[in-house]
Structures are given as structure tokens and as C-alpha cells.
Amino acid sequence: MSKSIPTREENYSEWYNEIVKRADLAEHSAVRGCMVIKPYGFAIWEKMQRALDDMFKATGHQNAYFPLFVPKSYLELEEEHAEGFAKECAVVTHYRLKSNPDGKGLIVDENAELEEPLVVRPTSETVIWNSYKNWIQSWRDLPVLINQWANVVRWEMRTRLFLRTSEFLWQEGHTAHATEQEAVEETEQMLRVYADFVENWMAVPVLQGLKTASERFAGAEETYCIEALMQDGKALQAGTSHFLGQNFAKSFDVKFVNKNNEQEYPWATSWGVSTRLMGALIMAHSDDKGLVLPPKLAPIQVVIVPIFRSEEDLAKINEKIEPITNALAEKGISFKVDDDDKYKPGYKFAEYELKGVPVRLAIGLRDLENGTVEVARRDTLSKETMPLDGVADHIESLMSEIQTSLYDRAQAFQKANTTSVETWDEFKAAIEKGGFVVAHWDGTDETETKIKEETKATIRLIPLNSAEMMGKCVYSGNDSPRQVVFARAY
Amino acid sequence: MSKSIPTREENYSEWYNEIVKRADLAEHSAVRGCMVIKPYGFAIWEKMQRALDDMFKATGHQNAYFPLFVPKSYLELEEEHAEGFAKECAVVTHYRLKSNPDGKGLIVDENAELEEPLVVRPTSETVIWNSYKNWIQSWRDLPVLINQWANVVRWEMRTRLFLRTSEFLWQEGHTAHATEQEAVEETEQMLRVYADFVENWMAVPVLQGLKTASERFAGAEETYCIEALMQDGKALQAGTSHFLGQNFAKSFDVKFVNKNNEQEYPWATSWGVSTRLMGALIMAHSDDKGLVLPPKLAPIQVVIVPIFRSEEDLAKINEKIEPITNALAEKGISFKVDDDDKYKPGYKFAEYELKGVPVRLAIGLRDLENGTVEVARRDTLSKETMPLDGVADHIESLMSEIQTSLYDRAQAFQKANTTSVETWDEFKAAIEKGGFVVAHWDGTDETETKIKEETKATIRLIPLNSAEMMGKCVYSGNDSPRQVVFARAY
């Protein structure tokens, strides 16, 4: 902990990198664009996975696993999809290395070239729909409700830990339905699941809506998304749910016999969230002292630091700690007692602040005399001394209090940083200031592109179920049936 | 369920394929050598993962995630390791596809060749030790106890579902220690964890021991393994734990300052089990009617089939089923009530037998009158009619009874198929008959190779802690200090 972390104000981007590094969440690997997720970071991701997986299963989905490799010919089958992913594919062309005849080391064996190149999956629609061809014959086989937890690769030239890496971890749901309506309902249901997770587990409020045509997933009829606002005023797409229509069914010739004994193409959805959520989690709540974690996703919810000079003191303090840890264990609250004597309490306090542990207890000899304990909250950095009796109950209520309070703070921030504008000047000023900017748009690609070129702002989403409200496009002045949400984004 | 499954007697290999297929566990994908793990198969794998993961964490390990890609130059650094894996590597040479200028589709973009080829990880020692270089500076940083759940690729020409596929799922533990002794203890501890899991969760007894030099992991000083016996008399390596010495530390120049302030190389271990365990699970217990699952790993532990002709009957039966399912839920026993009216009870019974559901309850109208229920066990195929009252308690005890009984049966089979031999003729006859063959070996590579060439039998392991017992090598007649275990193997 040599140099101090730059503040968010000083350098938001550097602040983010330092938090990720110092809280031991992840690091760049020597493999270009690929990250190493370190144990503490991975423990948070595991908590996210568990919560999401439970939600997927509660909505009727099952996990499965499909191949890492996509034959080039599969990728070609859905034209838009191919175009969307071709430029960022890691391509396997050979299946063997051999000793270098001219010297040391290994070289690619030119006699082991694949007949057809394989792409490392950037997403699995093609491989999965190729399997669904065998799984789906009759309406009785529908719906197919599958999820996969997997690694995917999209080659990136400029990477940022968690936010944009060539390899990332994600889940991808792929479902098939007998009717269009059912597929649309599934798409919307999974968007709600994502919003529920991000809001109630990550404590990050989101907007829900539709992407414009130009921002849609390659191969989708409609892309739904949730968007969150980071502390620097930039938006982050936190999850997407795609209504794929019959596109992949047609490309892979998947048909089923409906109840009227007619051949039909099933309707598809796909939906995913990734380790990018880790970036959102970090950026939404953390402060200049380090990571701030919502209790529901914190690997360690409570750290207990005994303050002692001798083994004897420690033994006395431990006697008081034991009933607390027993009570916490019973309540299912995770904790760590740090009685390492190599580091001073002040060092430890800073370390657990850096790591975002929601609650810290400190107990010294004076506390023993007084029957008290110091309870510190990571989110507010407030401290109070309270009686030892009942501290576990207090912590339990703190867990939900902190969870709620982080959400409320993030929501207040989002509200304070959402601006509705009427004129182009107002628009530019609001974008420059940061945050969500709500404005009329004439619905054309051309205007969308011009606005992006001139301000770097994109249309984050068209709000769901927004009532029609006529107005004038903020850029072209043409008629507009509804307002949309703009922002600069990650 | 058109054609019947061949019996194990008729065609063991075909029987295995049919079980995997008909129980909906996995299927070949159109991508050469890669499998699709279907939801029912994946649910079993998830149960394995959860149990193993808990055991890893209970022994102090944390999960992390390292890159999918290994730069060619890393692989080269440890010479034996490089030699061992070079011949079966999927090699990424390009990072982009482009539209085919001469026609339809995509081609590899020759302008997007990587400066250095990347290998899809066949195992992660090299990538991980490259990271450990930054993690390990002082004795205070040790031990490092990391596990990773991941997909790996080892190119295979001849594949079998679960047993040998080009891509498979596994976990790989990678630890670093300050002393040789500690690393050896870790290696042995993880072997015991694997043996514990395979025996107590999979209900498959194993032998524990050391591999001979020729069967060691490429780059290891010592490979420990567990070996299980399948019903066709062939052995299956179910898990390996490697003591890597300082080989990878030296190759990647990882050093730490010890307590005496001297620079030293840390000592390493790695250990792994894979989806191959699914193959072992299937082959160890299943019978000619289908899959047989130990209760601890069964996605559905109890299936309840109401036998009814009308909705009215069903409603009456459901009244009796409800208290049972409530009691099962309370006991944490997973169940499924199958009241689908599209299929007859007999069809359902066969289906759940095929899928290896450990216990089946059937309740019809006559049972209602008598206050009884029919309870069928999958492992013994026995049925009994018993009072409805107390059936949940009975099922609870059946769960552990079946678990134990499967283990006992497999252990009796292993015992009956383990033969100790003295002469070469006895040896050949015993290998031909199948099973583990215990015999003296003179300890030379040459004899090991000859035996393999002449009988297709390999040394599965040198038993751990076996007392010295002089004898004559079964092949060469030379002196041998101890017996080893031979078998033909998967």
C-alpha cells in the first residue's frame, strides 16, 4: 500500500484500475487481452453466479454445456450474425505443434491443418441451434429452456479489466418456443430477472428498455437491455435479452410439428450477463478508500479485529468473540476473525476498507472492561461503540440496512444525473456534464449516427412501455413519437 | 424407446453409448471430438462439482480463473511438459475472419495473423505459474492454494462420450509451498480428497497409488492416482494428483525469500478430475435397463407416479401425495411428481429406470383404499408395498441404504476381480479375464513396455505404503521389491 489511490475526481479511470488491482480482484495476464480473476474477485463472481443460477432455475431453466468451438461454416449460416462477429474471432487453424527442426522450441505443424477452421465461440447461438435441430421435432419438445455458464472470446485491441477483455466469463440462455408470443414473454421475463438481480443483489438501479436497430445483437429481431449509471456519469449496459424471431431456426433448419400437425419454425431467445457486471459493481459503489460491496455479494460480510498486545489479551478477547461468531454463523452471516500479529490494527482497517468488507468489529481491552465493541460501516465509514450483547442481531439488521442504503444512494445519484432536454444546446451541455439524457429522437439511423459523431453519446435504450408523447427531435427537429435515453457509455 | 439396449454381455461398449444417449446425458456435437452435455447429464456433473468444490474449500483452497490461451513460448518453457502436450494442441493462429472476396461466406483474414500462436489450454500449469511469479515474493505469500473450474482441449482422433473427448470440463488445483514436505503432503491430501469423493459420493471403490515414470504427468516428479474398476474388467483412472517439485518454479523463475532471508524456489502440486468421472459413474453401477445413480448424485432422488384414469382420481391421489412431498422437501430429498397424462405408467417406469432415479413411488386407487404405496428401488429392482404413513422416513433411510449398497456391490466386484499372480501364464490368463492383476515387476521401463505390447495391460499404480515384499518379476524373472497393479484400461 505504497502510493495512495487517485481519487475518483482526479482520475476516474486510474481510480478504477487501482481498486481492481489493490482489492485483489483481477489482473492482466501476459496473454494479450485476457485477465486473471483472482480469488477475492472470483469469490464475488461465484456469489453472483449462485444467485443468478437460482433465479434461472426458479424460472424453469436447466444448465447444459456446448462445445467451445464453432465451425466457420456455422457462423456463416446466419448472415447478420456472421458479420457481427467475424471481425473479432480467435481462429483455430491447426491441431498440433511439433519440435522445431531448425532449433529449440515448438512450431505449428503445417501437416496438421484443420480442414475447416474453428472459431472460439464468441457466443453460442449457432452451435446450440445446430444441436436443437436434433432435440426439437414436435410441439411436445417445446419449450426448450437452456442456460450455459461458459467462457467466450471476442478479440479486443483495447481492453479494461472486467469491462472489456478478449476472454470473459458469462452465462448465455438459449430458448426455443412454439409461438412468437411465448418467446417475447421469455425475452421480457429474463430482462426482469436481470433487473431484479442487478437491483436487489448488486444494489444498482437500472433502466429497462429496447435497443435501437443499430445497437441490436447481430441476428436479433429485438434486443432488450438494462442500463446502469456509473459514478463518472457514463452508462454501462449490464445485461441483454434478445428476441431472435425465427432467424436461427431457419438458418439451421430446425422445425417442429405443431398441434395442427403442421411444420413450423420455433421462436428463439437468447440472453446473457457477464463478468462485466463485476465492473459495474465496482464502479457503482466504491469510493476513494477502495471497494464498497453490498452485503449480499460480499465474500466476507463481517471482519472482526481483536486489538491486543499479548497472547493473554488475545485469549481474553477471543472469549468474547466466540459467542458473536457463533451467532453470526447461525444467522448465515460470513465472517473472518483477523488475529494475525504481523500487522497493526490500523493497517488491517485500511486493508478491509480497500476490500469493501461491509462491517468491521474491533474489540480491545477497554471494550472488555466496558462490555462494548466498535462497529464500523464500510458504506458510510461511520463508527459506533455499542454493547457486546445483541451485537449479532445488530449486524444482521445492518446487513439489510447497508444493502438498502447502497441502492438508495445509487438511485439518488441516478435521479440527480438524469436530465430531460428539449434543445440541441441543452442536449450537448447535458451530455458533457454526464448522466442519462432524456430527449426526443426522430427514429432515424442517420440522426442517431450524427449525434454519436458529434457528442459520443449513444441511445442507451428506448424505455419499455413508455406512453406516446409527441415532440420534436432534439437534433433534427423532426417529429418524434417518444423520448429515448442517451448517454456516453462503457 | 424403439430398439432395446444391448446388454453389457452382448456389447459393453455399445451398451455404454446407448445408456449415455438414452438417459439424455450427452451426445456428440458436429464439432469433431467435442460433446454436448445435455441437461440431465449436466445436473449430475453440477452435483459432483458442488461436492468437490465444498471439499476443496474445506481444505483451504480458493477458486480463481486464468486465461484460456497459452502462448506457445510458455508451453516451451518446461521441456517435458511441452513434449507431452504439443501433439494434441488446438492452435489459434489468427484473430479475425473476413468476407470471402471471391464469393459467399467467410475466410481467415491473412492480415490478422498472431505474432505468436496461442494454444487452447490443455492444462494450465504454464499460465498459472507465469502469474505466480507476481504473486509469490516471500514465505508470507505461501502457501498459494488455488483451484480453477475450466474447459480444456486435448485434440483426440478417437473419442468416446465423457471418457475421451477433445474438449472436456474439469477442475485443476495448482498450489505452491515453501517446503518439499508440505507440497508432498498437499499432493497426498488431494488424492485422499478424490478417493473420499469417488468412494462416498460416487459409491465407487478405488485403489490409491503412484504412477510409474512412464505414466507420469508431463512435468511431474511424481503422479499419484486413484483407479476404479469398471464392470467389463477394465480400469479407469479417476483422478490424479501431481507433485511437481520445483520444475515449474524454475521454468518460470518464481522465487521467494524464505525465513532465513534466502532466495528459494517454491514447491508445486497440481491435481485434477474431469467429466471423465461421469463415464466412471455410468459404467460402475448401471445395468441392462439403464443408468443406476447413487442417491447423493441423483438430480431426482425420488419419482412419484400417480396411477389414475380421471382428473377426479388424480385429485384424490394428490391429496395423499402432498404430505409425502412436504416431508421429502423438509428432509432435503429431491423429487418429481409425474402426473403427465400423455404417457402410461409402464412407459414412465421404464423411463425413470433408464434415467437411474434411485426410488420410485407408485400410488393408485387401490393404494388409497388400503392406505399403501408401492416403493421400488432402482439398484435392486425390488418392489414392496408399504403403509403410506412413514413412507418419507423409509425413503430417507433408503437413500443411505442404496448409497451403501451400491458401494458394497462395486467393492465386492472389485474384490472378485482382483487376482494375484506369480507366473507369466497366470498373468496373461488373468489379464485376458479382466480386472486388476497384482504381480511383481522388476521396476524397468523395458519390462513395462514389453508387458504392454504383449498383453495391452499397463501398470495402473504402485500401491501406496505397500510393505516391501521381495519376489520375482512376472515377466523377466528378475528381483522385484514389491507388487504392482496391472490392468487393461480406458
Per-residue pLDDT of chain A (490 residues; tens, 9 = 90+): 457 889 999 999 999 999 999 999 999 998 889 999 999 999 999 999 999 999 999 999 999 999 999 999 999 998 888 888 999 999 999 999 999 988 888 999 999 999 999 999 999 999 999 999 999 999 999 999 999 999 999 998 889 999 999 999 999 999 999 999 999 999 999 999 999 999 999 999 999 999 999 999 999 999 999 999 999 999 999 999 999 999 999 999 999 999 999 999 999 999 999 999 999 999 999 999 999 999 999 999 999 999 999 999 999 999 999 999 999 999 999 999 999 988 999 999 999 999 999 999 999 999 999 999 999 999 999 999 999 999 999 999 999 999 999 999 999 999 999 999 999 999 999 999 999 999 999 999 999 999 999 999 999 999 997 778 899 999 999 999 989 999 999 9
Q: Which residues of B fall within a CB distance of 8 Å from A42?
A: 62-65
Cell of A216: 441490436
- Least CA distance to A33: which residue of chain B? B67
Which member of A39, A83, A98 has the closest CB to residue B62?
A39
* Overall pTM > 0.90: yes
- Least CA distance to B46: which residue of chain A? A63
Kind and range of the H or E run holding A463: strand A458-463
Q: Which residues of A fall within a CB distance of 8 Å from B66?
A: 29, 36
φ/ψ of B143, rounded to 5, equals: -75, 155
The residues, ordered by sequence, that sit 6+ positions from B459 with a Cβ below 8 Å of its Cβ are B211, B212, B215, B441, B448, B451, B484, B485, B486
Q: How far apart are CA B486 and CA A439, in angstroms?
A: 76
Tell me whether residues B66 and A146 touch, CB distance under 8 A: no
Helix (H, G, I), strand (E, B) or coil at B33: coil
- β-bridge mates for residue B228, sequence order: B236
Q: Which residues of A fall within a CB distance of 8 Å from B69?
A: 31, 34, 90, 167
A33 CA: distance to closest CA in chain B (Å): 9
Q: Is the peptide bond before A358 cis (omega within 30 degrees of 0)?
A: no
Tell me whether residues B97 and A89 touch, CB distance under 8 A: yes
As a whole number, mean pLDDT of residues B140-165 equals: 95
Q: How far apart are CA B165 and CA B436, in angstroms?
A: 25
Tell me whether residues B86 and A98 touch, CB distance under 8 A: yes
Which member of B87, B99, B131 has the closest CB to residue A29?
B131
Q: How many CB atoms lie within 10 A of CB B139?
A: 17
- Least CA distance to A110: which residue of chain B? B91
Q: How far apart are CA A181 and CA B392, in angstroms?
A: 41
- Least CA distance to A154: which residue of chain B? B95
> Residue A1: what pLDDT?
46
Specify the CATH architecture of the domain A418-487: 2-Layer Sandwich (3.30)
Q: How far apart are CA A447 and CA A438, in angstroms?
A: 15
Domain spans of chain A, in order of start: 12-71+129-285, 297-413, 418-487
Cell of A231: 459514478
Which member of A43, A75, A87 has the closest CB to residue B96?
A87
φ/ψ of A489, rounded to 5, equals: -140, 160
Candidates 3.40.50.720, 3.30.930.10, 3.30.1490.100, 1.10.10.60; CATH matching A12-71+129-285: 3.30.930.10
Tell me whether residues A127 and B86 touch, CB distance under 8 A: no
> Residue A130: what pLDDT?
96
Which residue in A393, A382, A386 sits closest to A372, CA to CA?
A: A386
Which member of A42, A87, A93 has the closest CB to residue B64?
A42
Q: Which residues of A fall within a CB distance of 8 Å from B88?
A: 95-96
Tell me whether residues A118 and B90 touch, CB distance under 8 A: yes
> Residue A103: what pLDDT?
80
Which of B68, B73, B109, B115 to substitute to test the interface with A, most A CBs within 10 Å?
A: B68
B251 CA: distance to closest CA in chain A (Å): 14
Candidates 3.40.50.800, 3.40.50.2300, 3.40.190.10, 3.40.50.2020; CATH matching B295-403: 3.40.50.800
Which member of A62, A83, A96 has the closest CB to residue B39?
A62
Which member of A94, A151, A155 has the closest CB to residue B68?
A151
Tell me whether residues A91 and B87 touch, CB distance under 8 A: no
Q: Which residues of A fall within a CB distance of 8 Å from B93?
A: 91-94, 108
Tell me whether residues A106 and B86 touch, CB distance under 8 A: yes
- Least CA distance to B106: which residue of chain A? A76
Does B1 have pLDDT greater than 60?
Answer: no
Which residue in A327, A307, A271 sits closest to A125, CA to CA?
A: A271
A306 CA: distance to closest CA in chain B (Å): 21
Q: Which residues of A fall within a CB distance of 8 Å from B45?
A: 65
- Least CA distance to A166: which residue of chain B? B67
Which residue in A425, A408, A433, A441 sits closest to A487, CA to CA?
A: A433
Which member of B64, B72, B104 has the closest CB to residue A39?
B64
Tell me whether residues B65 and A36 touch, CB distance under 8 A: yes
Q: Which residues of A fall within a CB distance of 8 Å from B31?
A: 67, 69-71, 118, 127
A253 CA: distance to closest CA in chain B (Å): 15
Which member of A67, A88, A140 has the closest CB to residue B29?
A67
Q: Which residues of A fall within a CB distance of 8 Å from B67?
A: 29, 31, 34-36, 167
CATH topology of domain B12-285: BirA Bifunctional Protein; domain 2 (3.30.930)
Which member of B46, B82, B130 has the closest CB to residue A106?
B82
- Least CA distance to A71: which residue of chain B? B31
As a whole number, mean pLDDT of residues B57-78 equals: 96
Which member of B64, B90, B95 has the closest CB to residue A89?
B95
Q: Which residues of B fall within a CB distance of 8 Å from A48?
A: none
Q: Are B376 and B362 in contact (CB under 8 A)?
A: yes
- Chains A, B: CB contacts within 8 A come to 194
The residues, ordered by sequence, that sit 6+ positions from B451 with a Cβ below 8 Å of its Cβ are B441, B457, B459, B475, B486
Which of A97, A159, A253 to substitute to test the interface with B, most B CBs within 10 Å?
A: A97
φ/ψ of B151, rounded to 5, equals: -100, 145
Q: How far apart are CA B145 and CA B176, in angstroms?
A: 7
CATH topology of domain A297-413: Rossmann fold (3.40.50)
Q: Encode pLDDT of B387-422 as tens digits.
A: 999 999 999 999 999 999 999 999 999 999 999 999
Q: Encode pLDDT of B284-319 as tens digits.
A: 999 999 999 999 999 999 999 999 999 999 999 999
Helix (H, G, I), strand (E, B) or coil at A174: strand
Q: Are A470 and A481 in contact (CB under 8 A)?
A: yes
Q: Are A236 and A221 in contact (CB under 8 A)?
A: no
Q: Which residues of B fall within a CB distance of 8 Å from A94?
A: 90-91, 93, 117
Which member of B34, B63, B118 has the closest CB to residue A39?
B63
Which of B25, B27, B36 to substitute to test the interface with A, most A CBs within 10 Å?
A: B36
